[in-house]
């Protein structure tokens, strides 16, 4: 007998579950002779407003025609019943003026208080589509009944619900910083996110393998061929480096990063190197030009003395023999010119390839990205991997 009862219960449970799990709904129908209207229920656009299934209870219905609001009230949906809303054109063919929604609270006597606790800052609070203020916590003297409370953050609705205010009582609303709300705010910031992606800084580590081969051979000819040995030794070294990338595509220098991060230590080192380089170029240029100015006349004078029809040079026209001091000065000019030329050519070689270490570059890159997020109003956790 117990087995039969258990079997009947097992068979009956799916039917009882389907009966009790049915959602209690009613129907909303919106009628209008205007073909261009848009209907919103609880701030959500409705595509087929001719017949909308809604949960029983109160809902906020708004009807607009472009930028003109035609209707905005709270309606009650009853179980298995039809609630009709008629939206008529503006009277006397005068265009309606866009204005805040006029939500009519349910008729009750007395007033109450609404307390808003938010985990966000920089929010704007609206009651029945009338702005109450920014970052306020208390709304006093609210007429008892149902009201439409909306909280905006950075132009995005993060809370929109119907609340009930009872006479002489306080209605408390909590606006939580949930993951869904954060994603909703972030999705609305498309230009800011694109700006961040175009200007963020990444430090990419690179590694290259450099191989060096040394060969030694010693062959001797023999009667039948060659004999000897051939040895080669290959040494491979991994060379690590890094690149600083802006916006995911453009490589920038250490100085560019230091300028963005305002790293005065790096910038000062670069200024010292530039000053040293300019001084070396100036010294080398003066030495090279001076040696040319002195050496060229001496070379011309020596060639004048060696010409048969001109027994004397212009420096010493009465002698055809080049004095030893001219050769000494010419040699000094040549040595000075070579050294000066080497100073100019090698003036930039003492500058390091990187002023940063990889860890230092990454630290400054994170600093720049943090400031960029603050400037664009993005959360600190955005783009964190």
Summarize pLDDT for 60-108 with one digit per residue, the tens.
888 888 878 888 888 888 888 888 888 877 754 434 434 444 445 444 5
CATH class of the domain whose range is 106-188: mainly beta
DSSP state of 33: S
CB 56 within 8 A of CB 82: no
Whose tokens are 């400031």? That residue is 371
CA distance 91 to 206: 73
What are residue 351's phi and psi, to 5 degrees? -70, 135
CB 56 within 8 A of CB 25: yes
Residues of the chain with pLDDT under 50: 1-21, 92-103, 105-107
What are residue 354's phi and psi, to 5 degrees? -135, 135
What is residue 9's predicted lDDT score, i.e. its pLDDT?
A: 42
What is residue 91's predicted lDDT score, i.e. its pLDDT?
A: 59
Model pLDDT for residues 157-216, shown as the tens digit of each residue: 888 888 999 999 999 999 888 777 777 777 777 888 889 889 999 999 876 555 666 666
Just give the CATH number of 23-102. 2.60.40
Q: How many CA atoms lie within 13 A of 172 on its CB side?
A: 3
Per the confidence metrics, is the pTM higher than 0.85? no
Strands 57-65 and 68-77, how do they pair?
A: antiparallel
Which spans in 66-204 are helix H?
179-187, 190-199
CA distance 382 to 226: 71
CA distance 273 to 147: 69
Q: Where are the domains of the chain?
A: 23-102, 106-188, 253-354
* Nearest alpha-carbon partner for 54 in 26, 13, 93: 26
What is residue 380's predicted lDDT score, i.e. its pLDDT?
A: 77
> What are the b/e assignments for 7-33, b being 16+ CB within 10 Å?
eeeeeeeeeeeeeeeeeebbebebebe
């Amino acid at each position: 007998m117990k087995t039969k009862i258990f079997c009947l219960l097992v068979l009956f449970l799916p039917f009882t579950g389907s009966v009790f799990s049915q959602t209690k709904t009613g129907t909303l129908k919106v009628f209008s002779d205007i073909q261009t209207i848009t209907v919103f229920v609880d701030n959500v656009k409705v595509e087929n407003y001719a017949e909308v299934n809604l949960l029983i209870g109160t809902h906020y219905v708004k009807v607009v025609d472009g930028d003109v609001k035609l209707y905005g009230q709270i309606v009650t949906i009853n179980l298995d019943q039809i609630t009709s809303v008629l939206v008529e054109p503006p009277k006397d063919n005068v265009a309606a003026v866009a204005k805040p929604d006029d939500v009519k609270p349910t008729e009750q006597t007395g007033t109450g208080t609404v307390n808003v606790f938010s985990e966000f800052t920089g929010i704007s609070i609206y009651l029945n589509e009338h702005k109450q203020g920014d970052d306020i916590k208390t709304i006093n003297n609210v007429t008892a009944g149902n009201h439409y409370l909306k909280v905006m953050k950075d132009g995005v609705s993060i809370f929109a619900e119907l609340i009930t205010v009872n006479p002489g009582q306080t209605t408390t609303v909590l606006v939580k910083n949930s993951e869904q709300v954060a994603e909703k705010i972030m999705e609305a910031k498309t230009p800011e996110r694109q700006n961040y992606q175009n200007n963020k800084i990444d430090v990419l580590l690179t590694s290259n393998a450099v191989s060096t081969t040394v060969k030694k051979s010693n062959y001797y000819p023999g009667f039948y061929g060659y004999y000897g040995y051939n040895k080669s030794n290959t040494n491979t070294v991994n060379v690590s480096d890094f690149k600083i990338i802006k916006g995911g595509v453009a490589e920038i220098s250490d100085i560019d990063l230091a300028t963005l991060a305002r790293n005065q230590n790096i910038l000062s080192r670069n200024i010292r190197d530039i000053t040293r380089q300019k001084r070396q170029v100036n010294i080398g240029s003066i030495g090279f030009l001076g040696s040319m100015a002195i050496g060229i006349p001496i070379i011309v004078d020596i060639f004048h003395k060696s010409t048969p029809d001109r027994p004397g040079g212009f420096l010493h026209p009465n002698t055809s023999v080049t004095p030893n001091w001219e050769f000494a000065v010419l040699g000094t000019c040549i040595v000075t010119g070579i050294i000066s030329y080497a100073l100019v050519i090698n003036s930039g070689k003492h500058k390091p390839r990187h002023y940063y270490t990889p860890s230092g570059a990454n630290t400054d890159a994170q600093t720049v990205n943090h400031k960029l997020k603050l400037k664009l109003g993005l959360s600190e956790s955005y783009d964190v991997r």
